[in-house]
């Protein structure tokens, strides 16, 4: 009988995990799609990026935030091809893993990986995807793009992420 209860508990835990991460992904899309004009491009202000703080509290949140980015990039009205879908999701995955690791040591340090990962990875490839046909991408353009993406992520996490972090800390 104990084995049955243990199996049922494991199944419930798995179901909760899948459902919760699905909700996280859906919320990201809901908060990104209506703001597509500012969510995609060289200056990216994705309000839903506030959810980048979630992995600080649990590694179980990492799949949800990665899936959310994958879906948002998949439905991008500007369609930046597989590079954005794959590399943007990879940046989110890396940020989530390091946010969790650093967040265990200090919650505030967990805010740094999304800024760095998105700045370097997303900012690094965006100029190549957004360049006009026949134009070339300069090293300066890549650096500006990296700084722009990192800055917009930092501002968003400062304005919305810190309050969410504080609320989550208080509510456990």
Q: Which two tokens stand for residue 138?
A: 């300069």
Q: How far is CA 122 from the centre of its chain?
A: 11
Global pTM reads 0.86
pLDDT at 47: 87
Q: Where are the alpha helices (DSSP H) in the chain?
A: 2-32, 36-39, 54-57, 62-74, 81-105, 112-117, 123-130, 139-156, 162-171
Provide the 8-state DSSP code for 80. Answer: -
CATH number of the structural domain spanning residue 36? 1.10.1760
CA distance 80 to 77: 9
Q: Which two tokens stand for residue 164?
A: 């969410």
Total count of domains within the chain: 1
pLDDT tens digits, 30-81:
888 788 788 877 778 888 889 999 999 999 999 999 998 998 888 887 778 8
Which domain range does residue 52 map to? 2-171
């Amino acid at each position: 009988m104990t084995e049955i209860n243990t199996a049922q508990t494991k199944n419930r835990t798995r179901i909760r995990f899948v459902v919760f991460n699905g909700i996280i992904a859906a919320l990201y899309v809901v908060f990104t799609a209506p703001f597509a004009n500012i969510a995609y491009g060289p200056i990216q202000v994705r309000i839903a990026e506030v959810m980048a703080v979630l992995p600080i509290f649990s590694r179980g949140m990492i799949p949800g935030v990665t899936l959310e980015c994958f879906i948002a990039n998949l439905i991008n009205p500007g369609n930046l091809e597989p590079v954005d879908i794959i590399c943007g999701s990879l940046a989110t995955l890396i940020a989530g893993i390091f946010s969790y690791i650093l967040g265990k040591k200090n919650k505030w340090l967990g805010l740094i990986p999304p800024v760095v990962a998105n700045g370097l990875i997303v900012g690094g490839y965006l100029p190549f995807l957004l360049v006009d046909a026949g134009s070339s991408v300069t090293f300066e353009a890549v650096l500006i793009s990296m700084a722009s993406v990192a800055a917009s992520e930092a501002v968003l996490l400062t304005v919305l992420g810190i309050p969410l972090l504080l609320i989550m800390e208080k509510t456990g």
